[in-house]
Structure 1
Amino acid sequence: MESLEDPIATFRVTQDALVLAWIASGVERQLVEQWMAEQRRARPDIDLRLIQLPHGGPPSASLLDLVADDLRRSRDRLVVPVRMFWSRDESASNWRALGTLLSGRDPYRPSPRRQARIVRSDPSRARIVEAEPATVTELDRRWRDTTSAGADRDFAGFVIRRARLALERAEYRLLGPEYKSPRLVKPELLASLRFQEGVRRIPGATLTEAGGILDEMATGWSRWSVDFVPWLGRMIFRRGFERDLDYDDADVSAMSEAFAVHPAVLLFSHRSNLDALVLAVAMRDNHLARAHLFGGINMAFGVLGPIMRRSGVIFIRRNIGDNQLYKYVLKQYVSYLVEKRFNLTWSIEGGRSRTGHMLPPRLGLLSYVVDSYAESRSEDILLQPVSISFDQLHETAEYAAYARGADKAPEGMRWFVDFIRAQGQRHYGKIYVRFPAAVSMRAHLGTPQQLRDAEPAARRLALQKMAFEVGSRIQHATPISATALICAVLLADRGRARTLEEIHAAMQDWLDYVERRDAPVTESAHRLREVQGVGSALDSVSGGHPVTRVDGGWTPVWVITADREHEAAFYRNTISHVFLERAITELALVHAARSGGDRPAAFWSQSAQLRDLLKFDFYFVNTSTYREHICAELAHVGDWEAAISAGEAGVVDLLRGKGPITAPTFLRSFFEAYSIVADVLGASAGAPPERDVIKQALGIGRQYLAQGRIRSSESVSTLLFGTAMKIAGDRGLLVGNERGRADLRDQVTGVLRDLDRLATPSTVSVVT
């Protein structure tokens, strides 16, 4: 047999050594023995011993004893891990690989007959991987530092685990960073003194039960799955979207450099079930280390669940409750991955935003990462914001139905097949992926020691601020789409149709504001400056997606009908963060104009109260920065403080000089939803269940809409009602408090009156 040259292994044994070789076939044994012979020819004076280990499954007790006996021979001898690496046939398609797998064969682990054929015809695909060796003394020290050092057999097991991990690292040099994956989490954690002591502190908990939880979370690992999932994601989104994802190359370059230094947590915005697949494709496209996705265990269905697990997805329970052992195991699992420098990822919002705007961050998993940092598991951890956005989505119809009270469709293989089919229904435009600058945990929280010394309240506040910074960077990196702007302009008319020329003319003020804010825009949004660009954008969203084109008259007109308002609102809400502070400024101005006394003080008081009302629906900067932003909104029209102090005339002139009025467009649906829930709570006694309040709010909202008491059908939404319940809970209104409920109703009613005044800015009625 011809000699095989391993291009990554230059190591030569120069002292007595024990070679631990994972061998799965006679062909592999022959190749390893050939390697041993080459080593002995180079250094005939050394003692070189070989112990063969099973490729799959744990070693037997007798094999552990054999390794233990050899380890006792000398403390200075090296332990050298080796195994065969079989490269995939690059000419084979993923469909062929899938067929091979479904037939019971692993395309990445060829059969012995196939191995022999490869060695004869394409020997470059057969390589011996040599991991970095370590002396018995070094391994013994690590064993005693990290585990409850026991019998020689336990030490042998530890050495074998370390050897396997070293081989994994060596293989990454062949495969690339995208294949990096934890392989021995369960045995490593169960053998850890820290882990064992933590389990013992939980009443009634056992290591056996903890091991079962680890099995539930375990990812497994398969090169085929790691390759297949990005391929699957690309296959799915290409059915309806542009073939290639839209990146900012500078973002990718900076992120790649940062990942080379510290472990990272990629926190992405979540508006579609495509998001995780898109992120997998993005990481593969840019040759970045794979991030292990934390997902709900409800997604671990059918044949897809095992494939996703083996690609690095960690499925966790959605409802942990008071299960202290599960929480502890999950926390230690996260800490282990951080310590071993594996990248992690999940949605910063905790779930999909079915309303379009980013939801406030969930801190659960992130708090575990912070705990890992406080324990000095890493010198720093990067929080990498990820913006994933779409020109259009087929899921908006589902979101609209859910908002109207429909049940959420259960996940399963049938659901997944329908999801794939839906991607091919029409063309949805582009997918945009942005990676803004990472947030350093060390920069925001201080050193691990400083974090450990911090008071719990201060620590939680710092965590919240850090999470909000990530969310803010995601928002500011998300490009504004033509679809979102078209929907915003048409929703502002609440059912009134416009011609192409009218839409183009109205669009210019909106584009001027976006340009002044220096907000990123898509190529299609850039083209809205031209009539032809507006026409192209309207064509892409017409046919009820979500705009309706009306033909047969003097000229075509476009309108968003009431039954499509929820879908259109989804797109409009994706850019609400750009106009949020402007809209609040408008509302506070109108409020100040109808206030007596110190009008500037009334303005600032109302802007603060509006911020507090909206805090469960939107991201806000800190108080001082927020005030600066509000000032900036008014600065471009002149001396706003003088204008507001002048009363009615000053405020009307100010409003007329600000361009498009945005508050009714972006905020009316939220405040109308809040008012409906406030009415339901005001008419309720005691502490009604949230489910009952939302159900009643749906009925009352439909009544109000029919009566004209609210203007927008999108306000009748279980999603917005859920946020209104959070406001009520924050104010202690869910357990009674009639006076507080009445105050909330009065406050929201006042805001709605101000929105009515803003609807016709040229005839603002100023009440003193």
Structure 2
Amino acid sequence: MRFFNYCLNMLTLGVSRLLVRSKILPQNPTEQYELNPNNPTLYIVRLNSRFDLAALAIACKKSGLPSPIEAQVLGNEQLERFIAIKNPAPLFGDKAKPTKALEQGKHVIEQLIKTGHKHVQVVPVTILWGRDPGKEKPGFRTLITHSLTPSWFRKFFVVLFSGRDNFIRFSQPLDLSLLVNEKADVNELPQKLLRVARVHFKRQKLAATGPKMPSREQLFNSLLASPTIKKAIQDEAKTKNISQDEARQNALKLLDEIAANYSEAMIRVAERALTWLWNKLYNGIDIKYTEQIHELTNKGHEIIYMPCHRSHMDYLLLTYSIYHEGLVPPHIAAGINLNFFPAGGIFRRSGAFFIRRSFAGNKLYSAVFKEYLSQLFIKGYSVKFYTEGGRSRTGRLLPPKTGMLAMTLQAMLRGIDRPVSIVPVYIGYEHVMEINTYLKELAGKDKKGESILGIFKAVKNLKNYGRGNLNFGDPISINQYLNDNQADWRDSIHPTDVQKPQWLGPQVAALADQVMVKINNVAALNAVNLLAMILLVNDKQALSKPKLLAQLDFYLQLQRNASYSAKVTAPQDTPEQLLKHALKLNKFDVISDEFGEIIAINDKEKILFNYYRNNILHLFAVPSLIALHIFKSHKTTVTQCQQLVSAFYPLFAKEWFLHELDEHYITRILANFTDQNLIEIAGDEIHITNTNDCLAKLEMLGRSLSFTLQRYAIVIGFIQTSDGIDKAELERESQVLAERLGTLHGIKTPEFFDQKVLVNFIESLRSQGLINECDKGLVGSTALCEIYMHLKTLLPARIWQSITDIVQGQCNNS
């Protein structure tokens, strides 16, 4: 019998090599989980299937792990390595026979106790044939191909139709020592082991495929039957003086406009197309910190992805990356402007649901959308939306729009019984394909609507866009957040009605800011944004190659050893390798003369490079401020540096969504400056080393903050030199002065004159109590006066003179 089974296994293995193509996650399970192929190894799987065994055997061979087909010697016994907790359904009948898993588990536990072997590796392995979630009401195709426990006959069709989409996920080995050390009946331990495995496989299946999908008709009927939408339909009929049927048809049309129509087949097609696209566009996509998402799915969390928004590519890149991590693509909140032929249908079948820019004046639309969103959460779908509301035109994070997040919390107040976590996501590029359009819009040109012609034009212009970065930030458990900040939040739970308690608005705003902070905590440095930081502060945006490489090395060492956040990612390449890579992107000119090479930004790229610098400017804010202070003073103290940073950091934190100031951050920066021979520290005293090289490095780093400090000086200057100024007048005059300063000193950074940036800064001053309102208007506090005096010492005399001359002139005229 054993020989017959062996022959069948070999035959199945041969067939599998022809029909099966597996995606193995993680790509290197041996390294990921520190598995030792020489240690006793067993695999626990969900289904006892020869094809599953064969696919696992091929995957184990690729990963350098022991074969599941071979027996494992443990103590004096030979144990099967392949432990399946469920048998396939019989060809006729419904009830499958129990497997030998309980008996196998018992043998493993007994041998573990007898031998005291602490290094037995019991590895759970999830094996899925295709990633189709299945339908709530099975159809003909489902009967042929989709089943978690198919008979051998149906399994043949499963392998035939889905063999090329086989999915194998290795998980962290089970810690059997915890089971053995429990003071429990030894006979109960195998049963507990299998219970843990069943829960694990259920969660892994849900994470990879999502819940079963209702038909579109089923979904709409269930939504229209909800009390919330029924009431909204009644109100619509009464308000517009139409019949209930007409109002119901209006609601149906809105559902058809909003709802996604997820298709796993479309996802598979899109995956292949996007693989081609990424290879065409990018030299690689670097993805970091995915283990946090898998940890959430292993714990049964529902996930809400909240990325920053740089480009339309974000929709594709994030969904593609999530799918390649073996997770079900999320339902995506997309602007209604993207619902055009043929993109709208493709996006909808890829999981996009469409949202209008405003709900104002349309109570039926608001009710329908909120109920649809609630149903997504209730049924267990992951969701993705952009908290900024739209794409950033400046490269910096925009103030968050809180509408979708508020509706998410309202959905939780329906009593969702699973933990819900937000995953912030940082997305960065070495080239943003819409960047020229952004520049035109910042210059005042109207935004063009998306269209099929725009797609063809984009495809025509496909070229080398360098590398992309996608970093997953630290998750935020909404349940835990509310427990910590709104202890009575559960009192507002109502199973049917949408709730809007008084505490909702403030908590949503605070949570949104926390999401933005966590996005910036995982920012990614790359060749382009680092070179933008260096070259933009130099005359003619050019620098000799040796000086450029030296400054690049300075920044890399600074970010690697004294980073703003432990999860900021920096390239591991040398400065020479980064420069070589960047020059291939056709954004730079290389000018040669008898003294060597000069690297300059292309004329057409100079203004655009501000966008890339803004992606990471927050990472250099504090080092730049300290460098500028040291450069200007030549001699200072650690205490003075700390006081200076303490004065400006609240403004930086509000502008760039920074976390609370780490008390050791300044110390690390100064220590790095010392290590790089820029300064010397004796006790509290700081002395500049006074070499030309060190002065140039500190000056360049300090000038990175120049435009930000000038903008601060403009606004604060108007406040300090007046007895009180009206808020609207302050906004208007600040923008006029910024434009004049730009003309006088050749400042061409679009955001320098951006009214939204100035308005947000003024609001930041107000919210922090640095300005107050009196009868005559806004007046500054004592703390604001101190900041103003700091600005006077930090800014170049010619810039300060221009600002004070214009400010005083305007105030005198008033």
Q: Determine if the TM-score, normalized by the shorter chain, exceeds 0.5.
A: yes
Structure 2-normalised TM-score? Answer: 0.61
What does residue 464 of structure 2 align with? Answer: 427
For residue 568 of structure 1, what is the amino acid of its counterpart? F
Q: CA 1:676–1:494 in 2, change beyond 3 Å: closer, same or farther? A: farther
Q: Which residue type is aligned with residue 188 of structure 1?
A: S
- Is 1:713–2:748 an aligned residue pair? yes
Query: In structure 2, what is the Cα distance between the partners aligned to 1:308 and 1:497?
Result: 43
- The reply on whether 1:236 has 2:277 as its aligned counterpart is yes
**Counterpart position of 2:479:** 442
1:460-479 matches, cutoff 5 A: 460-479=505-524
Code of the residue aligned with 2:482 in structure 1: it is: L
Deviations along 1:145-197, one digit per CA (max 9) or x if unpaired, are: xxxxxxxxxxxxxxxxxxxxxxxxx9x97996169656443221221235435
Residue pair 2:627, 2:701 contacting (<8 A) in 1 also: yes
Q: Hey, what does 1:85 align to over in structure 2?
A: 141
* Matched position secondary structure for 1:383: strand
Given residue 296 of structure 1, which amino acid in structure 2 is its aligned partner? G
Is 1:669 the equivalent of 2:669?
A: no
Cα-to-partner distance string for 1:249-292 (whole Å, 9 max, x where unaligned) = xx334423422512110111221211111112112222211200
Structure 1 counterpart of 2:356? 317
**Any idea what SS the aligned residue of 2:304 has?**
strand
Describe the shift of the 1:717–1:731 C-alpha distance in structure 2 as closer, same or farther (beyond 3 A). closer
Secondary structure of the corresponding residue to residue 610 of structure 1: helix
Residue 549 of structure 2: which of 504, 516, 525 is its match? 504
The yes-or-no answer on 1:282 pairing with 2:321 is: yes
Q: Return the offset for 1:725.
A: 1.7
Gap regions ≥5 residues in structure 1 = 1-7, 11-34, 43-79, 90-118, 128-169, 761-768
Q: Distance in 1 between matches of 2:342 and 2:774?
A: 49
CA distance in structure 1 between the aligned counterparts of 2:161 and 2:271, rounded to whole angstroms: 25
The match for 1:29 is none
Q: Is the 8 A contact 1:262 1:380 kept in 2?
A: yes
- The answer (yes or no) to whether the contact 1:220–1:312 under 8 Å persists in 2 is yes
1:625-678 Cα offsets, whole Å, 9 max, x none, are 45564565457779xxx99998xx858789989973576443323344556678
Give the superposed CA RMSD.
5.1
Equivalent in 756, 763, 779 of residue 722 of structure 1: 756
Secondary structure at the counterpart of residue 141 of structure 2: strand
The aligned counterpart of 1:375 is: 414
Change (3 A) 1:754 1:457: farther
Distance 1:179 1:415 in 2: 35
**Number of residues paired by the alignment?**
591
Query: Is structure 2 residue 583 aligned with structure 1 residue 539?
Result: yes
Q: CA deviation at 1:742?
A: 8.6
- Using the alignment, how far apart are the partners of 1:257 and 1:421 within structure 2? 41
Q: How does 1:130-149 map to 2 (within 5 A)?
A: none
Query: Higher mean Cα deviation, 341-350 or 233-242?
Result: 233-242
Q: Does 1:548 align with 2:589?
A: yes
Q: 1:319 to 1:553 in 2, by over 3 A?
A: farther
The residue type equivalent to 1:404 in the other structure is A
- Supply the distance in 1 between the matched residues of 2:667 and 2:161 (Cα, whole angstroms): 67
Secondary structure of 2:269's counterpart equals helix
Kept in 2, the 8 Å contact 1:180–1:289? The answer is no
Q: Could you list the per-position Cα deviations for residues 178-228 of structure 1 after superposition, in whole angstroms to 9, with x for gaps in the alignment?
A: 696564432212212354357668983876244443222111344443333
Which of 285, 302, 311 is 1:245 aligned to? Answer: 285
**What residue number does 1:526 align with?**
572
Matched residue of 1:342: which SS? coil
The structure-2 alpha-carbon separation of the partners of 1:715 and 1:506, relative to structure 1 and needing over 3 Å to count, comes to: same
**Partner Cα separation in structure 1 for residue 602 and residue 421 of structure 2:** 45
Which structure 2 residue ranges, 5 or more long, are not aligned?
1-45, 49-88, 97-135, 146-153, 163-201, 493-499, 675-679, 800-814
How high is the TM-score relative to the length of structure 1? Answer: 0.64
Q: Any idea what SS the aligned residue of 1:617 has?
A: helix
Q: Is the 8 A contact 2:716 2:788 kept in 1?
A: no
- Specify which of 513, 523, 530 is matched with residue 558 of structure 2: 513
| Residues 745-754 or 256-265, more deviating | 745-754
Identical aligned residues as a percent: 19
State whether residues 86 and 125 of structure 1, in contact with CA within 8 Å, keep that contact through their aligned partners in structure 2.
no
**What does residue 565 of structure 1 align with?**
606
Q: 1: CA distance between counterparts of 2:221 and 2:547?
A: 67
Summarize the Cα distance change of 1:689–1:365 in structure 2 as closer, same or farther, 3 Å threshold.
farther
Contact persistence 1:361–1:467 (CA under 8 A):
yes
Tell me the SS of whatever aligns to 1:352.
coil
Q: Separation in 2 of the partners of 1:383 and 1:716?
A: 30
Tell me which moved more, 742-751 or 253-262. 742-751
Quote how far apart the aligned CAs of 1:416 are.
Answer: 1.6
Where 1:245 maps in the other structure, the secondary structure is strand
CA–CA distance in structure 1, aligned partners of residues 606 and 748 of structure 2: 7
Counterpart-to-counterpart distance in 2, 1:506 and 1:662 = 8
In the TM superposition, what is the alpha-carbon distance from 1:352 to its structure 2 partner? Answer: 1.6
Q: Which residue of 2 aligns with 1:177?
A: 209
The question of whether the paired residues in 2 share the 8 Å contact of 1:663 and 1:755 is answered with: no
Q: 2:617 aligns with which of 568, 576, 599?
A: 576
Output the amino acid matched with 1:581: V
Structure 1 residues 721 and 489: CA distance shift in structure 2, 3 A: same
Distance 1:579 1:333 in 2: 42
Q: What are the Cα deviations for residues 721-756 of structure 1, in whole angstroms up to 9, with x where unaligned?
A: 311122335667999987538999989875654443
The residue identity in structure 2 corresponding to 1:467 is A
Change (3 A) 1:435 1:729: closer
What CA deviation, in whole Å up to 9, does each residue of 1:122-145 have, x standing for no partner?
A: 897699xxxxxxxxxxxxxxxxxx
Question: What whole-Å deviation, never above 9, does each CA across 1:20-73 have from its counterpart, x for those lacking one?
Answer: xxxxxxxxxxxxxxx9x967999xxxxxxxxxxxxxxxxxxxxxxxxxxxxxxx
CA distance in 1, matches of 2:272, 2:779: 53
Q: Is 1:405 aligned to residue 444 of structure 2?
A: yes
- The residue type paired with residue 519 of structure 2 is I
Aligned CA distance change for structure 1 residues 82 and 215 (closer, same or farther; 3 Å):
closer
Are the equivalent residues in 1 in contact too, given 2:423–2:474 (CA < 8 A)?
Answer: yes
The residue type equivalent to 2:239 in the other structure is G
Match of 1:336 among 368, 375, 384: 375
Letter matched to residue 557 of structure 1: I
Q: Shift of residue 486 of structure 1?
A: 1.6
Q: Following the alignment from structure 1 to structure 2, what is the Cα–Cα distance between the partners of residues 653 and 337?
A: 61
Q: CA deviation at 1:592?
A: 11
Q: Distance in 2 between matches of 1:86 and 1:498?
A: 64
Aligned to 2:5: none
Residue 365 of structure 1: how far off its partner (Å): 0.7
In 1, the alpha carbon distance for the partners of 2:631 and 2:779 equals 24
Aligned position for 1:299: 338
Deviation of 1:512 (Å): 1.8
Tell me the CA shift for residue 435 of structure 1.
2.6
Give the drift of 1:235.
3.8
1:210–1:329 CA contact under 8 A, matched in 2: yes
Distance 1:750 1:491, change over 3 A: farther
- Is the alpha carbon distance of 1:459 and 1:603 closer, same or farther for their aligned partners in structure 2, counting shifts above 3 Å? farther
Letter in 2 for 1:499: S
Deviation at 1:317, TM superposition (A): 0.5
Q: Does 1:756 pair with 2:795?
A: yes
2:220 corresponds to? 186
Change (3 A) 1:194 1:637: same
Once residues 597 and 615 of structure 2 are traced to their aligned partners in structure 1, the CA distance between those partners, rounded to angstroms, is 27
Q: Which structure is higher in strand share?
A: 2
Contact 1:334 1:369 in 2 (8 A): yes
